[in-house]
Amino acid sequence: APIPPEKRLERYLNILAGNKIRMTPNLQRPLVIYKIFDLVKATPEVTFNQLKEIAQTYFANATPKVDPQLVMDTLHQLFHTFCFEFDSDSNERIMNRKMSLPQETQSPADLLNKCDQKMLQLIIGDLGASEPLDKEIAAQILYGGARNPKVLDHIQELVDAENQV
Report the CATH fold assignment for 5-164.
Four Helix Bundle (Hemerythrin (Met), subunit A) (1.20.120)
Those residues whose C-beta lies under 8 Å from the C-beta of residue 82, and which sit 6 or more positions away, are: 118
Name the residue among 162, 163, 123, 165 with its Cα closest to residue 140.
123
The pLDDT > 90 percentage for the chain reads 85
DSSP 8-class letter at 148: S
Average pLDDT over every residue of 130-143: 93
Domain ranges across the chain: 5-164
Q: What angle do CA 9, 11, 13 make, to 5 degrees?
A: 70
Is residue 23 a contact partner of residue 11, using CB atoms and an 8 Å limit? no
- pLDDT tens figures, 69-117: 999 999 999 999 999 999 999 899 999 999 999 999 999 999 999 999 9
- pLDDT tens figures, 13-52: 999 999 999 999 999 999 999 999 999 999 999 999 999 9
Burial class (CB in 10 A: 0-12, 13-18, 19+), 84: buried
Those residues whose C-beta lies under 8 Å from the C-beta of residue 111, and which sit 6 or more positions away, are: 33, 34, 36, 37, 78, 83, 101, 105
Say if residue 123's pLDDT is above 60.
Answer: yes
**Residue 45 carries which side chain, given as an amino acid letter?**
E
Say if residue 165's pLDDT is above 60.
Answer: no
